[in-house]
Structure 1
Amino acid sequence: MEVGAILNQYKICGIVNLSESKQLTNPLTRYRPVAGLPFCSSYRLIDFPLSNLVSAGVESIGIFMNGQYQSIYDHVLNGSDWDLDSLNGGIFFFDSGTEQINGLIRDDLEAFHNNLEFIEKSRSDFVIIMGSRALCNIDVQAVLRHHLEQKAEITLVYKTISCSAADDRPITCVELDENNRIRKMKSCMLRHDGQSAVNMEIYVMRCSLYAQIVRRFMAWNEVYNLRDAIHQAVRTVKTNGYEYTGYFKNITSIKSYYDAHMDMIEEFNRSALFGGEHQIHTKIKNEVPSYYGKNTAVSNSLIANGCMINGIISHSLLSRNVVIHKESKIVSSIIMEGSVIGEGVYLSNVIMDKENHIQPGSRIIGSADHPVVIEKKSTIYLGS
């Protein structure tokens, strides 16, 4: 069946579930959800699920928040930058009702149950569920086609990764049989040799099945969040795996967030994530071009508009409106919007949040495994 025929025959809605633990990405997520994290100088993590859904022709998207609304509201607004401001659908925001205890998510299932009307009013046949941690550019149309061809009840998207390349955090892996059907799911640390199929937490199912799962587990009172409800359902209904082969990074920690940025410096990875037929959209901001002083040296770096650069930048990423004063050197670091780096500063393996001021002469040195994180709106002096 052709992709175009699928889209003509079926209507799809999307759920972006932002009920995601923030514990391991603090302090960057102290005042914002994981989805609000800046990425690659000009984007935010929520841009990727929104763009993936829009590329598949999804017109109605429900964003289930985790209690920190402002950064997502300010960035997404009415969805016009994703062409989601039409009369036929649009973006809808819901409070997921989550409670975070020590950074862990509890009790979001009731919010999904209370807002099943969103699915019903969309008049969709299928729902695509995804979060913001899975950094990828996926052809959702191809996933739906696979779902229909395999006559699956649920399709789960997974990525086969080398264990040696994985972040040292527990994640969910899947085991598949010879027909690519999911046999079981399990938590794994990926410390052994070889490869594992990692659950990307992207699911396709009929809207009727989604509503049935939510209502069933609310009635049984056995699980308390949507993620666990779906994991339980995978064990009992026909679930097929769809292997995603593009660029993928699971943003579960400061290290994985840092590594994903360093990956983007390589053109191959950047093209894999941002290139191809499916464009990644973001909020449009018109800025003047960046200024480079006469003693500036920039190598293997990505620099957004509006910056003033008078120092040395190597293997780093700078967001909009960053100021680097003379005789400063930035190496293997991420500098976010509006930060000012004073004269004679040396930064290596640093993640600097927005609107920081680093006083002249400071030296801040981390490592690739343990980058130094500087919280938003700090003023720092660390001399040699």
Structure 2
Amino acid sequence: MAKVVGLVNLHSNVDLKGLTERRPVASVSFLGRYGIIDFVLSNFSNSQIDNVGILIKEKPRSLFKHLSNGNAWNFNSKRGGVQLLYDEKFANNNMYNHDINNILENIAFIEKNKPDYVVISPAHIITTMDFSEAIKAHRQSGAEISIVYKKIKNANETFIGSDFLKVKDGVVQAIDKNKGNIKNRAISLETYIFNTKALIKLLKEAQKVSTFFDLRDILSYVLDEKKINAYEFKGFAAIIDSFEAYFKVCQSFLNIDVSTKVFKNNWPIFTNTNDTPPTKYLKNADVQNSFVANGAVIDGTVSGCIIGREVSIGKGAVVKNSIIFSGAKVEADAVLENVIVDKDARIKKIKELKGSADEPLYVKEGDVV
């Protein structure tokens, strides 16, 4: 059986406004109880890839807290686990703080494990990808490198700014940016499969070409001289590449047709659980079409919302189409619609807060409004 190491690549340029002011995208709350990184970690775990490194770009504190000892994701601790890979050397130098330099700085992680293949996948693209199937297709292709892509029919609305592939006979011909001007695209899911020797050789080559090159740059650069296999993923994929996209993707999971594509009996999504009591619905509670996490206390009206752990919704409050992070309090008679309330914030004096579905209003972590 082939030995595989996984890398979660957090070196993206995704900005979720206030949500990522003090935390990386990977540890932003999702559906009230998960972190965004839980999905890619669960993919590695369910694919029986037990050695996983996380390429951290910045703001690691909340990620350390969320990951804890890594046991929550059901990795075989005898064979591996989760290792945090941080490039301290270039942490404060944006041009040098990229995925290639991080891997090279932590190359001992790969050398120690001696894998046959390395799978690199991002956190901000949510999928339920079986990496073992992708690795099998990669091996059968005879190529040293594979890029995973998905055909989509609404590239004019989503994945704008992401890479798309031009594919011919299963081989990548070009990598370009999706400008949103064409509906049908083969969108790169930024998931790469490498023969280990080929990866190390490519990293060293990138250093010679440009020390500012990241993985995407060097893969595009070597297309003329290397065969890069294209593997089509046909399952669910959604991208969280902006504050607005985060809101829309979260809200889309309230649709059972979407959520059942991700939360499946044979593909558990693991997370670091908290010891909190059950949700308490008081006399005036009226809750519809919402995700509600443990420990919440609700005495108002909640509709089309995602309610985090230990959230309090007061008597007479009306909360619609909103995301309330853990520990936040919405006091009596407040009215919220299309609002994201970050951790431990308190809606107290301003009783009416309304954004729009396209531009949700944001309340910062710990603020009192």
TM-score (norm 2): 0.94
Q: In structure 2, the residue corresponding to 1:379 is in which secondary structure?
A: coil
Q: Which residue is 1:186 aligned to?
A: 176
Using the alignment, how far apart are the partners of 1:92 and 1:236 within structure 2?
Answer: 34
What does 1:15-54 align with in structure 2 at a 5 Å threshold? 15-22=7-14, 24-54=15-45
Q: Which position in structure 1 is the counterpart of 2:208? A: 219
Contact 1:19 1:98 in 2 (8 A): no
Q: Confirm or deny that 1:171 pairs with 2:195.
A: no
Aligned match of 1:6: none
Which whole-Å deviations, capped at 9, do the CAs of 1:181-236 have from their partners, x for residues lacking one?
211110122233x3111111001111111111111111333543233233434453
CA drift of 1:360 comes to 5.0
- Specify the SS of the correspondent of 1:28: helix
2:296 and 2:309 in contact (8 A); partners too: yes
Distance verdict in 2 for CA 1:52–1:107, change over 3 Å: closer
Residue 19 of structure 2 aligns to a residue whose secondary structure is coil
Flag the 1:105–1:197 CA change in 2: closer, same or farther, 3 A.
farther
The equivalent residue for 1:292 is: 281
Matches within 5 A, 1:259-278: 259-278=248-267
Alpha-carbon displacement from aligned partner over 1:306-360 (angstroms, at most 9, x marks no partner): 0000111111110110000011111111111000001111111111111110015
Q: 1:330 aligns with which of 319, 337, 343?
A: 319
Question: How many Å separate the matches in 1 of 2:190 and 2:159?
Answer: 18
> SS at 2:49's partner residue?
coil
Confirm or deny that 1:132 pairs with 2:123: yes
Tell me the amino acid that sits aligned with residue 161 of structure 1. Answer: I
Alignment of 1:93-242 (within 5 A): 93-96=84-87, 97-99=90-92, 106-163=97-154, 166-167=157-158, 169-177=160-168, 179-192=169-182, 194-221=183-210, 223-242=212-231
Q: TM-score, normalised by structure 1?
A: 0.90
Q: Offset at 1:255?
A: 1.2
1:343, 1:360 within 8 Å by CA — same for their partners in 2? no
In 1, Cα distance between equivalents of 2:218 and 2:64: 28
Secondary structure of the structure 1 residue equivalent to 2:5: strand
Could you tell me which amino acid in structure 2 is paired with residue 187 of structure 1?
K
Task: Identify the match of residue 65 of structure 2 among 74, 80, 84.
Answer: 74
Aligned alpha-carbon RMSD (Å): 1.9
Asked if the contact 1:18–1:65 (Cα under 8 Å) also holds between the matched residues in 2, the reply is yes
Alpha-carbon separation, structure 1, partners of 2:120 and 2:221? 15
Percent of aligned pairs with the same residue? Answer: 26
Q: Rate the CA distance shift 1:244–1:120 in 2: closer, same or farther, 3 A.
A: same
Amino acid in structure 2 at the alignment position of 1:64 = L
Equivalent-residue separation in structure 1 for 2:157 and 2:16 (angstroms): 16
Checking the alignment, whether the CA contact within 8 Å between 1:249 and 1:256 is kept in structure 2 is: no
Give the conservation status (yes or no) of the 8 Å contact 2:329–2:346.
yes
Kept after mapping to 1: 8 A contact 2:57/2:86: yes
Contact 2:301/2:317 (<8 A) preserved: yes
- The superposition leaves residues 77-117 of structure 1 with CA deviations (integer Å, 9 ceiling, x where unpaired) of 2211113361322222121334475xx88444323212222
Note the alpha carbon deviations across 1:112-152, whole angstroms, 9 max, x for none.
21222211111210000011111111111111111122222
Task: Choose which of 4, 11, 15 in structure 2 pairs with 1:12.
Answer: 4
Measured in 2, the distance between the counterparts of 1:60 and 1:164 equals 34
1:301 deviates by 0.8
Q: Deviations over 1:165-192 (max 9, x none)?
A: 7337411111111x22211110122233
**For the structure 1 residues 138 and 78, does the alpha-carbon distance in structure 2 shift closer, same or farther, using more than 3 Å as the test?**
same
User: What code does the residue aligned with 2:274 have?
Assistant: K
Q: Is the 8 A contact 1:329 1:345 kept in 2?
A: yes
Structure 1: which 5+ residue stretches go unaligned?
1-8
Counterpart of 1:254 in structure 2 is: 243
Amino acid in structure 2 at the alignment position of 1:17: N
Partners of 1:138 and 1:183 lie apart in 2 by: 24
CA–CA distance in 1 between the matches of 2:44 and 2:126? 13
Q: Hey, what's the Cα distance between the residues in 2 that align with 1:237 and 1:324?
A: 57
CA contact (8 A) 2:7 2:118 kept: yes
Stretch deviating more after TM superposition (70-79 or 163-172): 163-172
Aligned length: 367
User: Is this contact kept in 1: 2:9–2:99, CA < 8 A?
Assistant: no
Opposite residue 243 of structure 2, the aligned amino acid is: I
List alignment gaps of at least 5 residues for structure 2.
none
Range 116-125 or range 165-174, more displaced: 165-174
Q: Give the Cα–Cα distance (whole angstroms) in 2 for the partners of residues 344 and 211 of structure 1.
A: 60
Question: Given the superposition, is the C-alpha separation of residues 220 and 164 from structure 1 closer, same or farther in structure 2, using an over 3 Å criterion?
Answer: closer
Tell me the distance in 1 between the aligned counterparts of 2:350 and 2:77: 52
Partner of 2:304: 315
